[in-house]
Amino acid sequence: MIIKNIESKIKLATYLSLGSFITAVIICIGVSFFAYKQVSNARKSIYILDNNIPILAKQTNMQMNRPAEYRAAVDLFHSLFFSLTPDDKHIEYQMKKAMYLADESGALQYNNLKERGYFNSILSSSSVLTLQTDSIALEPSNKFTFYGKQKIERRSATITRSLITEGYLMDIPRSENNSHGVLITNWKTLENKDLSHVSKNTF
């Protein structure tokens, strides 16, 4: 009888020990997983100082943010290419920056405009060209269509022209000259025509 009681207590102690061990293992796994998640989330957190006050900024998935970067790259390229002042150094600077964002199709359009005297006409007429982006449509094939308006301010008139272009976007390594890591390819102008022509009073 005494032996049976001892055996029962040993079994009970064994079960309790085993149960405690399994519970401890489960708790350890749970704590480790929670700690891993906390560290992983912390690595995605960036603090930005604003007037010496830390502000939490969350990292976003690169692919989720890519469409916004595509639009920013397209907008920047068109702004560089079509927003010009009557200053040959400024025009040269704008074109040089723009060429880092496009393949040979951009250089081809630049050379065509240069041969036609487009840039010389800007200088001779003291024209100031500004571009307004209306929208940029993106397709799953990485094709884009740019819609905008170009305003040309001359001494004698203000001209507003429509501008529609299209091309494709290719991912490339980011660099100092191409911070978005996007190259515009097969770029061409679909429409660039006068919408309005308002003469100025010149005395």
pLDDT of residue 201: 74
**The pair of three-digit structure tokens given for residue 91, joined into one six-digit string:** 């025009």
Whole-number Cα distances in Å, 57 to 37, 39, 65, 174: 18, 16, 15, 22
What distance in Å separates the CA atoms of residue 191 and residue 189, rounded to the nearest whole number?
A: 6
Pair of tokens at residue 107: 């250089």
Degrees (nearest 5) of the Cα angle 89, 94, 95? Answer: 100
pLDDT of residue 59: 52
- pLDDT confidence of 22, banded at 50, 70, 90? confident
Q: What is the pLDDT of residues 29-70, one digit of tens each?
A: 877 777 777 766 656 555 555 555 655 555 555 667 899 999
Q: What's the confidence (pLDDT) of residue 20?
A: 75
How does the average pLDDT of the chain come out, rounded?
86
Does this model's pTM top 0.75? My answer is no
Residues 6+ apart with CB under 8 A from 141: 168
Domains contained in the chain, CATH given: 2-58 (no CATH), 63-199 (3.10.450.230)
CA–CA dist 56, 41 (Å, integer): 12
93 or 54, which is more confident?
93
3-state secondary structure the chain: CHHHHHHHHHHHHHHHHHHHHHHHHHHHHHHHHHHHHHHHHHHCEEEEEECCEEEEEECCCHHHHHHHHHHHHHHHHHHHHHCECCCHHHHHHHHHHHHCCECHHHHHHHHHHHHCCHHHHHHHCCCEEEEEEEEEEECCCCEEEEEEEEEEECCCEEEEEEEEEEEEEEECCCCCCCCCCEEEEEEEEEECCEEEEEECCCC
The tokens describing 115, both together, are 């041969």
And the tokens for 46? Answer: 């960036």
pLDDT value at 193 more than 70? yes
35 or 78, greater pLDDT = 78
The pLDDT score that the predictor gives to residue 102 is: 97
Structure confidence by residue, pLDDT tens digits, 114-163:
999 999 999 999 999 999 999 999 999 999 999 999 999 999 999 999 99
Q: What is the mean pLDDT of residues 158-170?
A: 97
Q: How much is the pLDDT for 195?
A: 96
